Structure 1
């Protein structure tokens, strides 16, 4: 059995927010990689943070916990957070457990950045 793979790339969107693009499987094996990337987001990301999940192929409860923790940490420092590109399965999970009422969800990174400007 192969180990799950997760990559996280950080860039600054032309309109200012930090964008983290998450690709692969987000589970208890790979969640520390996302946590490390989130810890590396500049504290000056006052224009917001977009986590692009369009490349996510799997997410378990550990991954969701990382996202919820990020939501709380971002809120504590006044950094708006938007999740983009959730697949159908993850969207369904978010709706089922009520996280669609907590997070701002947008279909694309550009839509997420626009939500931060609104």
Structure 2
């Protein structure tokens, strides 16, 4: 069941990328919805995932853990994983906990796609 507090919109993009546009509140109650969407994303050597967070209003530790899990899954499959449109507040959290060293960030989805094509 989808929680109205979170929206997850999959979009098969070009360059072998799937984009998940995540908006609303990512917390203990809504993280299962994101995990379900992440599990449906094909990942492999020629495929990748961009999670766009520009419309994300709130993210707690369970949401961050889901993003880490997705990153690990992509790496294990030989695919790519990046985040796009991260708000300054969330970027500060990523920096504080050291995840700015783990994740690849792009200002927009278009720039993530261009990076993949380069």
**Normalising by structure 1, what TM-score?**
0.90
Which residue does 1:6 correspond to in 2? Answer: 6
RMSD: 1.6
Gaps of 5+ in 2: none
Q: Secondary structure of 2:105's match?
A: strand
Which residue does 1:74 correspond to in 2? Answer: 74
Gaps of 5+ in 1: none
Instruction: Return the offset for 1:113.
Output: 1.5
**Normalising by structure 2, what TM-score?**
0.90
Which residue does 2:46 correspond to in 1? Answer: 46
Q: Secondary structure of 1:71's match?
A: helix
Distance 1:45 1:12, change over 3 A: farther
Q: Determine the C-alpha separation between the residues in 2 that align with 1:45 and 1:7.
A: 28
Q: Which moved more, 1:106-115 or 1:33-42?
A: 106-115
Which residue does 1:93 correspond to in 2? Answer: 93
Aligned length: 116
Contact 1:82 1:112 in 2 (8 A): yes
